[in-house]
Structure 1
């Protein structure tokens, strides 16, 4: 025994798709199997009216809304990894998903139920290689110029489906602009997607996903482009650990570290939080320089391993700030 799950949107199936599912459902019912039709919870206030008006007799489950997870806003869809509709999921008697299908036939289900999937398994593998795809798989960049503009370029395509139409999902409040151009040659259609973003402030990261949906016939598939864009720091240190080494109790040990900053900006360094056994001094650099010397003095009356964190902040004349966290470590002899 097993379960056959049909996953669709709430109210967008054509009449022939409903009749198709009902036909499969009746056939499975006669065999003592179970069919469940899953419906997305997104934008779906009238599912019951839809079921009644189409006289749907098979079991229908309504998914939980989760707008942050998938195009269709559904938690279960996300757990199943559904990236296109319609999607037919075949589950064995132990609860294992054994196949995702774009379409199913009685012959395919008989093959799966017999324990010898044969051609059905081959078709499933072939379909997996024909899903909507994107090159490259994501947009990742570091050390960017803050508050500037940057572009990322991608190809979105579906093998052997030249007539797919692309559209973007709504992203209220997002800062990424998405444009695309369609290109066709030798029976293949691809979309050149251009993402444009304003880079974040100093040391900040802009992170998220762009979701695109391609529609061909009655099928919709989604592909996501993850992005993570990080601007360079206003100032940085070669190492975020200050090694003080073995010291004598009550002895003062001095260290100097050098911070590097934007040479076009005059920056200042201030201490936000400093342990009691630590002192920090930043000499006046004078003029614009990308090198800032920070002097540390450590002295402890407690013996043993001493470690802690000093928190600094780097500021420039335009009001930008960047926090710096510096760990230190010393062993105080008795």
Structure 2
């Protein structure tokens, strides 16, 4: 079964001098019930734009988003509102995501109030239940966001996202703004809640070492496109795309010599003026003539690595 099916999703912005910036370009993937898809890539590759476009917090420029059997792109604002109960997001910044004028109880209970779920007493009971679920005391409901640490604020944001029992959760860099010592606590909390509640999650991060702990599958993005996607363990142990290999080589590993590090030369290309052919060819250590002119399609290799469960967009692996 498929809960979320995304086809050829694109998002463009007007750039300087009449140019067009392709933040997300022709992205396709699917997620099953209870599955976690990690989305990873450098800053500026389009990860956050993709996550927000899935929920139509940013309106996509083209493509299809089928969620639970309905095409979200065909729904107007009124029709989309009841569907939003099943689609929630955790934002990156736990300081800016919470209204400082509202109590924690009011913040967590707001989705219930907006969607007219339960009586006042039932909503208060649900808030207490959610606070306990994310490891915060019941009296936190009467306090304000500024009274909490960054990790505690992110727990509040998670509780709010879970208030309506969503089917799909987008975690947009949910731990990158936190201290390293707190990151593991929030990652473990999200992983535990995912199992207990059978949540489907799109987990966005720039850190592959974080992604691997929570994801069933991983999608690697480069300049607005998915260049490799597949099962987490296979991608982490036997990556195919040179970009994925470079990302993995940069992960620090205790007591392991830093040999085999792949250092990419040059900067991320300008999305307003992307290179022709494969966008990665300007930095790729295996660049070939065909890379300059032909854009590779995301497909399972039929030559070179025919038994791999990964899909890769690279001319090193010919598709059928």
Q: Please report the TM-score for the alignment, with normalisation by the length of structure 1.
A: 0.23
Instruction: Answer 1 or 2: which has greater helix percent.
Output: 2
Q: Please report the TM-score for the alignment, with normalisation by the length of structure 2.
A: 0.23
Higher radius of gyration, 1 or 2 = 1
With a CA cutoff of 8 Å and minimum separation of 6, indicate the structure with the bigger relative contact order: 2
